[in-house]
Amino acid sequence: MNDEDKKISRRRFLKASSLVATGGLLLGSDALASATKSDLVADAVYFNGKIATLDATESTVGAVAVKDGKILKVGSSDEIKKLAGTSTRMVDLGGKTVVPGLIDAHCHPMETIMMKDGWVDARYPACPSVKQALANIAAWIQHTPKGKWVFVACVSASENKFAEKRLPTKAELDSVAPDNPVILADGAHLAVVNSMALKLLGITKGVSELKGGGRAILDKDGEPNGTLTDAMGSVPTTPSLNDLERYYGTGIQDFWKEYGFTSLLAITPAAALPVLQAVSQKRKPDIRYTVSVWTDPNTEGMPENLDKFKMPAGADPAFYRFGAIKAWVDGENDCRTGLMYERYKGHFDTDPPGDKGTLVTPTPKAEHFADIANRNGVICMLHCSGDKAMDMGLDAYAREIKTRSKQTMMRIEHFGMFQMSDQQLRRAGEMKKQGLFVCVQPTWLLELVKADYENMGAFLAKTGFRFRSMIDAGLEPSAGTDMTGIYLANINPFSAIYACVTRNSDKGIFEPKEAVTVTEALKMWTIWAAKSMGEEKVKGTIEPGKYADMTVLSDDIFTMPTEGLKDVKTLKTIVGGNVVYEAK
């Protein structure tokens, strides 16, 4: 290249962008000097769109140029088309609205595909009663060998939703499955099992404490009544290696990308992680995994050194990253196991003793867990549902802030979903600058508000789902589906955006003063989600230098009537500049 060509290349480069990313780093003055014409030719140009960048100025542009899987430049269609060469893919967006690629900041993808494909379906409302649930189990048993485990999926709070206002009993499960161990999951934190399952799990008279922080509920005579709380560490649900390879190879990405997701914070059992690590060396997926590992709900089994959880050298770090560890402080209020200061209303035979929920991880263990995360430089995630558990999680983090060797990120999962005091809100807001992030599940507005009123009473129920207050306190809440395979419809982020904006719930309009704007609701699934994963420099907005991850929508969510938000569809999901999903 002669001197004149170098000058032309430099001028064109500056005109194209001062923020072009190469190898994950922003180009500086040295790189500018060596830029060539080929550096400025886009691999793909997406044009004729209404592209909401969600950058600092919340600008809207018409086109995006992509180079090496990252955003080269954004601007008007005429401007960006100038970066096209003879081999550039030109994609006409047809005037459609485009947003940053959606990020699921809290999900259990392996369990989701496992439950979706291999569990008896007793989910409300398709299954409206205990009677129907038992019939579904009986039909499944007809094609199941004797002695084989049978798993049944019910939505959380089924005891509130079923016509009988209760769950199936151990005796009823025995009657339809006398020769098979059966586990009926009422959401992810409470289950009812039959007699054969109790025997195989080693749960006998007087046994209430289970591995990993779970509990068996005993009757007045000390006999197990079949109810298990937070027993994920005890129940043998591990699928086969072939199943796991299929889940991580195709099943997960095929399910999530249809709804516009380009990234997941994938909460992953340590036992399944080696399969994901092996898959990461074989292929580049259509979705980006940031992995959070759990061993037992109460932190047992979590090693002091987390190196074995890191992704192998052959894995593409843009698609596979180990970033966090997770533990459970309590259960969840929807199944009356979230740890509260007050008693739950009424009483079910499936309720833990004391009627105030369950403690899974005591404060000293939570504090040590946060220490492990800090020493290893990863995010600490504590599941806290009830108000007492939230205080315990905040206490553990307050101690960590005072004693840690370096500033690392800390997260409260399900923060304020069921209940939250003003003091907890203020405290979390103050801890935000020390690295505290919160994750919420907005779709639950459409499913659990009525159960909250029945379980906790109106006063406490009204303290939940306060998204407007969280945003005003500066918390920048991230959103997650919390997909486990329990509520399959929760995969849809547009239902969540609809709920946030309209405050519609399964009990009608709920606390409308806590409504947020469409842009704020979208940020919960994009830039705030990216921040909660420590990845805001590479994803969450449509800006030069970031991954070229985008979601093309069927409707203009910023101008359409809010009632229609729940019906918005994904037309295209774009990861690294490539269309990985397109609606038929």
Please state the domain count of the chain. 3
Q: Half-sphere exposure of residue 346, counting CA atoms within 13 Å on the CB side?
A: 16
pLDDT at 577: 98
Per-residue b or e along 280-302, where b marks 16 or more CB atoms closer than 10 Å to that residue's CB:
beeeebbbbbbbbbbbbbbbeeb
First to last CA, the chain: 47
**Cα–Cα distance, 114 to 275 (Å, whole number):** 15
Backbone angles phi, psi at 439, to 5 degrees: -125, 135
Both 179 and 133 in one domain: the answer is yes
pLDDT at 5: 41
Arithmetic mean of pLDDT over the chain: 93
Residue with tokens 């392996």: 110
Average pLDDT over residues 219-247: 89
Q: What stretches of 422-532 show up as alpha helix (H) in DSSP?
A: 422-431, 445-456, 458-461, 467-472, 493-502, 518-524, 527-532
Q: Which pair of tokens denotes residue 161?
A: 């939703």
Q: Which pair of tokens denotes residue 366?
A: 């939570």
Task: Give a yes or no: residue 548 inside a domain.
Answer: no
**151-192 pLDDT, tens digit each:** 999 999 999 999 999 999 999 999 999 999 999 999 889 999
The answer, yes or no, to whether residue 4 has pLDDT greater than 50, is: no
Both 319 and 389 in one domain: the answer is yes
pLDDT at 233: 80
**Coil, helix or strand for 470?**
helix
Residue with tokens 């005591």: 362
Task: Give a yes or no: residue 563 inside a domain.
Answer: no
Strand partners, 373: none
Average pLDDT over residues 186-201: 94
- What one-letter code names the amino acid at 260? G
**Cα–Cα distance, 88 to 79 (Å, whole number):** 15
Task: Give a yes or no: residue 549 inside a domain.
Answer: no
Task: Give a yes or no: residue 255 inside a domain.
Answer: yes
Final residue before a domain boundary, out of 229, 263, 286: 229
CATH code assigned at 298: 3.20.20.140
pLDDT at 38: 64
Q: Which pair of tokens denotes residue 211?
A: 């591995």
Both 8 and 120 in one domain: the answer is no
**Cα–Cα distance, 419 to 425 (Å, whole number):** 11
Nearest to 58 by CA among 558, 562, 550, 577: 558
The answer, yes or no, to whether residue 201 has pLDDT greater than 50, is: yes
| 534 vs 118, residue with greater confidence | 534
| 552 vs 187, residue with greater confidence | 552
Both 200 and 314 in one domain: the answer is no
Nearest to 487 by CA among 115, 5, 99: 115
The answer, yes or no, to whether residue 302 has pLDDT greater than 60, is: yes
The answer, yes or no, to whether residue 21 has pLDDT greater than 50, is: no
Both 89 and 121 in one domain: the answer is no
Final residue before a domain boundary, out of 208, 229, 250: 229
Both 74 and 213 in one domain: the answer is no
Average pLDDT over residues 499-504: 98
Both 67 and 186 in one domain: the answer is no
Nearest to 500 by CA among 444, 420, 558: 444
Q: Which of 27-41, 140-154, 200-214 has the highest mean pLDDT?
A: 140-154
| 205 vs 11, residue with greater confidence | 205
Tell me the pairing of strands 320-328 and 288-294: parallel
Average pLDDT over residues 486-506: 97
pLDDT at 236: 82
CATH code assigned at 151: 3.10.310.70
Q: Which residues contact 25 (CB under 8 A, 6 or more apart)?
A: none
Domain of residue 14, residue span: 3-101+578-582
H or E element that contains 77: helix 77-81
The answer, yes or no, to whether residue 420 has pLDDT greater than 60, is: yes
**307-365 pLDDT, tens digit each:** 999 999 999 999 999 999 999 999 999 999 999 999 999 999 999 999 999 999 999 99
Residue percentage of the chain with pLDDT more than 70? 93
Average pLDDT over residues 427-439: 97
The answer, yes or no, to whether residue 218 has pLDDT greater than 70, is: yes
Other beta carbons less than 10 A from residue 163's beta carbon: 11
Q: What stretches of 170-211 show up as alpha helix (H) in DSSP?
A: 170-176, 195-201
**Residue 511 contacts residue 503 (beta carbons within 8 Å):** yes
Give CA 302 to chain center in angstroms: 21
Nearest to 472 by CA among 409, 535, 425, 538: 425
Q: Which pair of tokens denotes residue 184?
A: 């009926």
Task: Give a yes or no: residue 305 inside a domain.
Answer: yes
Task: Give a yes or no: residue 570 inside a domain.
Answer: no
**Cα–Cα distance, 309 to 314 (Å, whole number):** 14
Angle between helices 493-502 and 445-456 (to 10 degrees): 60
Both 126 and 224 in one domain: the answer is yes
| 446 vs 15, residue with greater confidence | 446
Final residue before a domain boundary, out of 229, 253, 282: 229
Nearest to 134 by CA among 194, 193, 187, 175: 175
Task: Give a yes or no: residue 360 inside a domain.
Answer: yes
Residue with tokens 């807001």: 429
Both 86 and 128 in one domain: the answer is no
Both 204 and 273 in one domain: the answer is no
Average pLDDT over residues 115-121: 93
H or E element that contains 45: strand 42-47
**Cα–Cα distance, 146 to 373 (Å, whole number):** 44
pTM for this entry? 0.92
Average pLDDT over residues 503-516: 98
Nearest to 546 by CA among 13, 26, 18: 26
Task: Give a yes or no: residue 573 inside a domain.
Answer: no
Per-residue confidence at 404, pLDDT binned at 50, 70, 90?
very high
Residue with tokens 């549902």: 385
Q: Which pair of tokens denotes residue 363?
A: 């404060």
Both 392 and 321 in one domain: the answer is yes
pLDDT at 37: 60
**Residue 214 contacts residue 228 (beta carbons within 8 Å):** yes
The answer, yes or no, to whether residue 2 has pLDDT greater than 50, is: no
**Residue 98 contacts residue 568 (beta carbons within 8 Å):** no
Both 184 and 209 in one domain: the answer is yes
Per-residue confidence at 249, pLDDT binned at 50, 70, 90?
very high
CATH code assigned at 13: 2.30.40.10
Average pLDDT over residues 94-122: 96
| 528 vs 34, residue with greater confidence | 528
The answer, yes or no, to whether residue 33 has pLDDT greater than 70, is: no
Q: Which residues contact 274 (CB under 8 A, 6 or more apart)?
A: none
pLDDT at 239: 84
